[in-house]
Amino acid sequence: MDLDAAHAWFTDLQDRIVTALEALDGRPFRADAWQRPEAGGGLTRLIEEGSLFERGGVNFSRVRGERLPPSASAARPQLAGRSYDAMGVSLVLHPRNPYVPTVHMNVRLLVAHRDGEPPVWWFGGGMDLTPYYAFEDDARHFHRTCKRALEPFGDGLHARLKKWCDEYFFLRHRNEPRGIGGIFFDDFAERDFEFSFAMTRSVGEHFLAAYVPIVERCQTTPYGERERRFQAFRRGRYVEFNLVWDRGTLFGLQSGGRTESILMSLPPVVRWQYDWKPEPGTPEDRLTTYFLKPRDWT
């Protein structure tokens, strides 16, 4: 288990993704390094009010602590009380154009230590798409790319991680999905470290191939105030999920991560309206009544 090699891969992935996104937007990402005394640090790469991205962040962090936060040991209570070393890359992109979907991706490694016992490690991550308007070709492309990322690692893995994503990115208090899913995994420690790390790397390496073609197709689509209002309304659901249900947000806050870097995942313009529903038969209605339903897009 080479943690230095893992650290190097995560930081290189961050750099390559930011370079590609800067080429798409035409404006540079801000670099904001941060440090917590005796607890690690990270590098936040952020863009706000870009040509394409209203807000976007691609963050690397490596944080250490003397005791696992409750969010990290909830699924493994026997590890409670261990010290830990956690690192990873997390990104969220909120484009300005409502026809370009919001996207989330993260890949991470956590190692728990206790004196006199071998370390316990696991990986987590995935990627998922949150469109505001329904384009089936985009959905198929995104899900097929996710499937290609997992094909070298065994039959049935994509189906399992897709189902996990559909179940995880779900607003239980509203009984509705956040978006159209993708793949998701956590507490992943199958076969050995190299196998699990290779699978995690493949997920990270396939992100640009999954998302960039969708951006290139949709970024010049004309839109008006109607589309922006619906985008802001649906972004409200995104905020609700991240603040109520997301384990990553909770872990970041509980582990002493940088609050600004953690909450960069929230969109800059959001709208709530009491019991609002789209008019039947409209593109907005099609998203919520037809498109946001788990299915096999591949």
Per annotation, catalytic residue among 94, 104, 143, 158:
104
- Tell me which residue of 91, 58, 95 sits closest to 216, measured CA to CA: 95
Confidence of residue 129 (pLDDT cuts 50, 70, 90): very high
Domain boundaries, the chain: 3-291
Examine the pLDDT at 68 and tell me if it is beyond 80.
Answer: no
Contacts for 173 with CB less than 8 Å, ≥ 6 apart: 240, 244
Confidence of residue 141 (pLDDT cuts 50, 70, 90): very high
Q: In this predicted structure, what is the pLDDT of residue 244?
A: 85
7 is catalytic: no
- pLDDT tens per residue across span 153-196: 999 999 999 999 999 999 999 989 989 999 999 999 999 999 99
Report pTM: 0.91
Q: In this predicted structure, what is the pLDDT of residue 74?
A: 66
pLDDT above 90 covers a percentage of the chain that reads 65
Mean pLDDT confidence for 61-88 = 79
The CATH number of 3-291 is 3.40.1500.10
- pLDDT tens per residue across span 240-257: 988 888 777 877 777 666
Confidence of residue 131 (pLDDT cuts 50, 70, 90): very high
Q: Where are the beta strands (DSSP E) in the chain?
A: 30-36, 40-48, 53-65, 83-95, 102-114, 117-130, 170-171, 176-177, 181-188
- Cα separation, 144 vs 160, whole angstroms: 14
